[in-house]
Structure 1
Amino acid sequence: MCIRDSFSINQMTVKQLSLPELANACGHSGVPGVGLWREPVREYGVEAAAKLVRDAGLTVTTLCRGGFFTAIDPAERRRALDDNRAAIDEAATLGTDTLVLVSGGLPAGDKDLAGARERIADALAELGPYAAEHGVRLAIEPLHPMYAADRCVVSTLGQALDLAERFPADQVGVCVDTYHIWWDDLAPAQIARAGAGGRLHTFQLADWTTPLPEGVLTGRGQLGDGSIDLAHWWRLVDAAGYTGPVEVELFNAELWAREDGAAVLHETATRFSSVASEVLGSSEVLG
């Protein structure tokens, strides 16, 4: 795989760019793939967005996000399932085979992590076959434990695989994101486990920088600015048999505050090239 073919920019990294601006900037920088988010895609129009990226020659590598399965109230659970069916439909329309899932945190007043994870499994049992019928795979993304209460009770790759392995691999797998798993010394073995089972559905890069911002959500560092050995994790997924695109997904308020989103894309592509050259043994530079 060459550097250029492997790169995908997640839409949230350059969220100051509109969808047409993003497509144009990718064309100018030679970026072949994009990971899209449902909210801006819906605002633009799903069919229109699909045509835009197709006409730009872009591959939609993932759609973010589905999930939030942990509600106890039956009406809330029905709404979540309906919304995830819609997300699967949107992914299929956009031409991506991967819907990333953020599984949901603990409902107010609930402290039962195991019960919340079982409700995720119940939802996957219903949604997995529907996704497969539409050519879409569900990718459970474990989030760093600091998000367990309010955003995602699936905190490790092992927990994600324990859920995914209840279902066929063409229905449910995992998303490996360096930001969320870099701290876990069991994660390398779990990456190998995911690869052996055909469940490595997508791989994302982001760095870990401190201090974390208030609210912690926008703390993802630009590649090379933080503590993560990004090339090491890339080598691990490569050794596990992953051959798909590598997305850069950065929630970073400082990057978003820069008016020139195309320049942020160029910078990110250059940083990506530096990491990729360590892994792929090429000096090719994107952007």
Structure 2
Amino acid sequence: MSADSPSASAVDVPSGQPARVPTPPPGDPRLARLSLNQWTTRGWSLREAVDGCVRAGVPSIGLWRDKVAETGAAEAARIVRDAGLRISSLCRGGFLTAREPAPRAEALADNRRAIEEAAEVGAPCLVLVVGGLPDGDRDLTAARERVADALAELAPYAGRHGVRLALEPLHPMYCADRAVLSTLDQAIDLAQAHPAAQVGVVVDTFHVWWDPQLPQAIARAADRIASFQVCDWILPMPADNLLARGMMGDGVIDFRAITHLVHAAGYQGDIEVEIFNADVWAADQDAVVATMKRRYVEHVV
């Protein structure tokens, strides 16, 4: 019997616990907006991830640039298109906080390439992780100003290519090395200097669930919400805090409360499951997708 059969005895990964709900079959209307971010099934190539989505009835996929590079953007676009899937996002651009002219120019050039790749594959948005403090730097204000300056150069270029830049605030523990934007309000402040079609924001539950101003910030974001990503905050946190993301229901986040806020703000796009977790990556990837579907209908929608 298929692991995707509602009557099959299924086990969730990576918890090893019996599934609490049946696996939604392909065509289940509750899956209509579900997207698999490629990093959740990191062991799969782009083609394998697309085939996995088709088998499972997941209608959308979030692409990563390294996976796209393995096939080339044109071939990646063809693979996704021929499978009948949507693309929810391309990850990632950003890292825009360099002080010196040479690394700054290199970062801008790479982001222009990323915008071109997003346009070629047909991704509606390019997720930006803006970067942390350069080595030896302690000036957060100046780092954020450099991000704003870079956006002033990149936003019009993205607009000409029909791509929306999506600023992703990261949890404050990543402020020093990955993102000097730590709250949704900070991301909205930067985005509002540009047309909404050029610059939006990402609401990622892992990064924003803790924020006491989150309800007001999501309402304020409104049509700036370019991507909605979900995964859980698990304890104890692993030694590598990049891998602290868990399967929905394995941690502490109230997903339905955040989903309600995002919907109320007017967002009608895909809901992308993005999990960085060594145990998830080590598991059978079809079992990961099956667990993802069960947890999505149980906890998110």
Place the TM-score, normalised by the shorter chain, in its bin.
over 0.9
Query: TM-score, normalised on structure 1?
Result: 0.94
Q: Secondary structure at the match of 2:32?
A: helix
Rg larger for: 2
1:209 aligns with 2:237: no
Give the corresponding residue for 2:249: 224
Letter in 2 for 1:217: L
Unaligned residue ranges in structure 2 (runs of 5+): 1-27
Aligned partner of 1:152: which letter? A
Residue pairs, 1:250-261, within 5 angstroms: 250-258=275-283, 260-261=284-285
Q: Any conservation in 1 of the 2:133–2:176 contact (CA below 8 Å)?
A: yes
Secondary structure in structure 1 of the residue aligned to 2:291: helix
Deviations 1:148-174 (A, max 9, x none): 000000000011111111111111110
1:146-201, CA deviations, whole angstroms, 9 ceiling, x for partnerless residues?
00000000000011111111111111110000000000010110100000xx2011
Alpha-carbon offset, residue 45 of structure 1: 1.5
Q: Which residue of 2 aligns with 1:72?
A: 99
Return the letter of the residue paired with 1:5. A
Please give the alpha-carbon distance, in whole angstroms, between the structure 2 residues aligned to 1:25 and 1:9: 10
Other-structure match for 2:291? 267
Alpha-carbon distance in 2 for matches of 1:16, 1:262: 11
Q: 1:9 aligns with which of 36, 45, 58?
A: 36
| Equivalent in the alignment of 1:282 | none
AA of the residue aligned to 1:96: A
Task: Report the TM-score when normalising by structure 2.
Answer: 0.89
Q: Matched residues in 1 for 2:103 and 2:30: separation?
A: 43
**AA matched with 1:268:** M
Q: Structure 2 CA distance, aligned partners of 1:86 and 1:3? A: 36
Give the counterpart letter for 2:260 in structure 1. R
User: Which letter does structure 2 place at the counterpart of 1:273?
Assistant: V
Aligned match of 2:69 in 42, 47, 52?
42
For each residue in 1:213-251, what CA deviation from the matched residue of structure 2 results, as whole angstroms up to 9, or x when unmatched?
112001101011100001110000001111000000000
- Letter of the structure 2 residue corresponding to residue 84 of structure 1: N
2:265 matched to which residue of 1?
240
What does 1:93-242 align with in structure 2 at a 5 Å threshold? 93-195=120-222, 198-242=223-267
Partners of 1:77 and 1:69 lie apart in 2 by: 7
State the secondary structure of the residue aligned to 2:173.
helix
Distance 1:41 1:208 in 2: 28
Provide the secondary structure at the position in 2 that maps to 1:86. Answer: helix
1:14 and 1:273 mapped to 2: Cα distance?
19
Q: After superposing the two structures, state which structure 1 stretch, 6-15 or 19-28, moved more.
A: 19-28
Q: What is the aligned partner in structure 1 of residue 8 from structure 2?
A: none
Deviation at 1:17, TM superposition (A): 1.2
User: Aligned partner of 1:134: which letter?
Assistant: H
Question: Secondary structure of the residue that 1:203 maps to in structure 2?
Answer: strand
Distance 1:2 1:202 in 2: 20
Q: How far apart are the structure 2 equivalents of 1:38 and 1:193? A: 30
Instruction: Give the alignment of 1:21-60 within 5 angstroms.
Output: 21-60=48-87
- After TM superposition, the structure 1 = structure 2 runs for residues 75-86 of structure 1, keeping only pairs within 5 Å, are 75-86=102-113
Does the 8 A contact of 2:31 with 2:293 survive in 1?
no
CA drift at 1:44: 2.0
Percent identity, aligned pairs only, is 55
CA distance in 1, matches of 2:202, 2:140: 21
CA distance in 2 between counterparts of 1:144 and 1:135 reads 29
Specify the code of the residue in structure 2 equivalent to 1:106.
Answer: L
Unaligned runs of 5+ in 1: 280-287
Once the two structures are superposed, residues 74-116 of structure 1 have per-residue CA deviations (whole angstroms, 9 ceiling, x without a partner) of 0101010000010001111111110000000000010010100
- The letter for the 2-side match of 1:272 is Y
Q: Distance in 1 between matches of 2:253 and 2:292?
A: 16
The letter of the residue matching 1:80 is A
